[in-house]
Amino acid sequence: MSPTKESISEAFKNLQLEICEALEAEDGLAKFGSDHWERPGGGGGLSRAITDGRAIEKGGVNYSAVHGDIPEQLRKHFKLDQGQFYATGVSIVIHPQNPFAPTIHMNVRYFEMDNGICWFGGGIDLTPSYVDTQEAKYFHSQMKNVCDAFGPDSYAEYKKWADDYFYIKHRNETRGIGGIFFDHLEPGTKTKKELFDFVLSVGKSFAPTYTRILSNKKDLEFTEVQRNWQLIRRGRYVEFNLVHDRGTKFGLETEGRIESILMSMPSEARWVYNHTPEDGSEEAESLKYFQKNIDWI
């Protein structure tokens, strides 16, 4: 049976809860808050923020299901005079305390219009300050496993898409070590149910993958120099999200709930004029990996 918008948003809501529970269990100290909000034009969401944990410094796991008149930009694109849309999704950004633990982002989303057009999108990407090649390999293998069940070329395609999307053009750096990214997956060759199953499997891969990574790193000792590097890399995260990220831009332009949109911001970020790590340092080594087209598997 083809999934309805109600069943998709219900599954996303459950996914949010599962992920929050898994992250709380891994953190062992902090708990997620809950802020219900309503969208003036229709629908709303549940924003869940966490802060000052043992492992997690700041993070958000947001669910929303909104509907209303199709925004002008989309109407123009599809040459529609009017119409209604429905959009639902889960968005996550987790910034950990430990400089050796990576920041992670995940998004799964569904969009439909009352003319019958609908699509899924989403992805997961990892942003370490210090690149651990074993961790990177594990992370990409997890992503490949999820993609392989969907199609033989999916991982290669969505991995490239992530490389291209999570790219800080003005720095000539990728945001981190990438992951997978996909958009506008419309029913056709694949059924709507197959698309939904894939998107949900991406969502369900988040908690086990990230809690394992966090568990390995959360208690490592670190120095002031390493914390400083983490904060500089968080500055780059801020630059990507405010300058390039389409979701953030769309949210700001369409006057979305600002505190939910900017939940992706780190607790702290730092900028140092002309900061250049010393040749051969751990920091310089990590920088080499913030480039496109690295085969991690």
Specify the 3-state DSSP secondary structure of 200. Answer: helix
Q: In this structure, are residues 66 and 38 in contact, taking their beta carbons and an 8 Å threshold?
A: no
C-alpha neighbours within 13 Å on the C-beta side of residue 55:
23
Structure tokens at 142: 């997890």
Closer of 79 and 273 to a second copy (Cβ): 273
Minimum CB–partner distance for residue 243 and a second copy (Å): 5
d(CA 138, CA 37): 37
For 266, which DSSP code?
-
Single-letter residue type at 271 = W
Q: Both ends of the chain: CA-CA distance in Å?
A: 36
Minimum CB–partner distance for residue 165 and a second copy (Å): 17
d(CA 188, CA 177): 31
Single-letter residue type at 211 = T
d(CA 232, CA 236): 7
Place of tokens 């609908």: 118
d(CA 65, CA 42): 9
Q: Taking each helix axis from N to C terminus, what angle separates 133-148 and 192-217, rounded to the nearest 10 degrees?
A: 160
Closer of 57 and 135 to a second copy (Cβ): 57
Minimum CB–partner distance for residue 138 and a second copy (Å): 29
Query: 258-281 burial by CB neighbour count: b if 16+ within 10 A, else e?
Result: eebbbbbbbeebbeeeeeeeeeee
Single-letter residue type at 167 = Y
For 264, which DSSP code?
G
Minimum CB–partner distance for residue 133 and a second copy (Å): 28
For 42, which DSSP code?
S
Minimum CB–partner distance for residue 255 and a second copy (Å): 7
> Which residues are the active-site residues?
105
C-alpha neighbours within 13 Å on the C-beta side of residue 16:
27
Closer of 9 and 47 to a second copy (Cβ): 47
Closer of 51 and 216 to a second copy (Cβ): 51
Closer of 61 and 207 to a second copy (Cβ): 61
| Nearest CA-CA partner of 140 in 122, 125, 121, 157 | 125
Minimum CB–partner distance for residue 119 and a second copy (Å): 26
Closer of 2 and 273 to a second copy (Cβ): 273
Binding site for a second copy (CB under 8 A): 35, 49, 51, 58, 60, 169-171, 231, 235, 238-239, 242-243, 252, 255, 258-259, 261-263, 265-274
